[in-house]
Structure 1
């Protein structure tokens, strides 16, 4: 006869808790008994919170109504099209279990959180949709997304606020900008595999993210590749009975060409976004950082423009990225295929670091890439070195200067019109041309090595913000199969 694990026995009902030490029957009852002691002021919000508490099988599937006065040291740390992000300390902290003696929840105590405030909310259903999808992605077994703890409300503006896990290391874009020279190929492969696996988990929930870019990849420990996905404001459940939005949203360089051309956003469009992110992880450069992010760039993307991949990048990685960026949607890999491929590369290289597997193809290619990075005089590097000497000589004669600065991921300058912004903002600022310009998407430009110079108009923000910042004529929205704003 199998005996019960006494460490997981609920002392109230004498039944065994699940592996996360959660007793759903008892805990649901405690939550329900407290329903009359709080309200958000809105029936839909109350119902959403209550349903999560009654149906949760694990602590990470529970959200709470948290009074705003239970936060301290609140300060703004970011801004987006939806509103603002604040840092705060949650005085009480997370629920850890039920205190039978005192008949109240045991809590972790003071805890750092991020507050996502919906200052510009027009429709509460949009916020609730984001919250529902975000909660669906929460998983302790493999942390796909930033943890969602609860909802609160600004007492002055009455804006609803999502209470989220605080990512102390910030987002991937800023991390790469500061630390790229210290990131080795083991960490790059780990990051690529980790992101592909988390997107696979999200896709298996029948969710498409629709706004996947480095600004939405957060971490409290980038060094150990603990990456989490955030911002599900544009995400949707596949097959959900919701009116289809015809507007194109997102950050322009990460939007798939078929979406720019007015086609439906699918899982394959998330794969395209992953390919652009993979390029940035591998090279350290934001996509199209040296050109304006405008309607001309959108047209070029639809006609085959892709970020340049340095020639010394491991060919297996180059091919993977190019497959993700294929204009033909059906030719892109799925995240299931990407996970299997990247898992092999990651494991092969990990074995090599332990003194094994030196003949693996990915190992050989990475060693060549590292050799080039250390001594670019090998291969084509000698050609560039000779050219550099000539340029230095010319420049000394013309300007009396003695050095030429090489653009790197650590010193690139962003073009002032390369705005990493929401697409709808950009479209408001540009002129109308024919739809055919955007729909000619049959080829992909082969990537070649080049020296990067940052265009002063390369600004990576949400497209809707960009469009507000520029002069309005007739909108490019018609070209993109999007109604005028």
Structure 2
């Protein structure tokens, strides 16, 4: 696949520098366009690889991590995430693939949020409420401005290329809600007031 030249480098670099400066209308627009890419690839009955973010960046990607994921471990975020997006993320991380939204559904949801942003007071209210909830979780000071929430050191055995993994005797998968219910929510404990 040939990708368009990115003037500001990778998406991670761009967000690392601009995340706090972008409003939610911009973020929803970006999410809409990002979601349309895989939806179009899937619509052509093609597959892709290595188009993912970096969850579990601080641990080795090995059998131990696979077991924890089967037991319900899910990625956490150290950035402010509106609850309506958190609910979509939780659906995407459901252990049952049949309950996960399709690429088309994700693109439709994100694009409708963007299109409705200025006309839907309810959507703006949900984002405002989410910001208030996150401020309680993260604290009024939010994330420290001295370091980007997207900059981190990756574990030497965290591998982000597609590969066949053959682990035997993995436990039965648990739904992500078990993990979130047990550990408050999707926001990192590092940034939680609890």
1:318 to 2:86 alignment: yes
Is the alpha carbon distance of 1:347 and 1:443 closer, same or farther for their aligned partners in structure 2, counting shifts above 3 Å?
Answer: same
Which runs of no fewer than 5 residues in structure 1 stay unpaired?
A: 1-133, 135-144, 147-164, 215-285, 386-404, 453-485
In the alignment, which residue of structure 1 is the partner of 2:168?
435
In the alignment, which residue of structure 2 is the partner of 1:413?
152
Which runs of no fewer than 5 residues in structure 2 stay unpaired?
A: none
Q: What is the CA–CA distance in structure 1 between the aligned matches of 2:146 and 2:66, rounded to whole Å? A: 25
1:366 to 2:98 alignment: no
Cα contact 1:186–1:346 (8 A) shared by 2: yes
Question: Which structure has the larger Rg?
Answer: 1
Cα contact 1:312–1:372 (8 A) shared by 2: no
| 1:258-288 deviation digits (Å, cap 9, x = unpaired) | xxxxxxxxxxxxxxxxxxxxxxxxxxxx422
2:22 aligned to 176, 183, 188, which one? 183
Would you tell me which structure has more strand in proportion to its own residues?
A: 1
Name the Cα RMSD after superposition.
3.4
TM-score by length of 1: 0.33
1:348 to 2:87 alignment: no
Aligned residue pairs: how many? 182
CA drift of 1:189 comes to 0.8
TM-score by length of 2: 0.74
Q: What is the CA–CA distance in structure 2 between the aligned matches of 1:201 and 1:369, rounded to whole Å? A: 30
Would you tell me which structure has more helix in proportion to its own residues?
A: 2
1:300 to 2:68 alignment: yes
**1:216-235 matched pairs, under 5 angstroms:** none
Question: Secondary structure in 1 aligned to 2:38?
Answer: helix
Q: What is the CA–CA distance in structure 2 between the aligned matches of 1:424 and 1:191, rounded to whole Å? A: 29
CA drift of 1:346 comes to 0.9
Q: What is the CA–CA distance in structure 2 between the aligned matches of 1:209 and 1:303, rounded to whole Å? A: 27
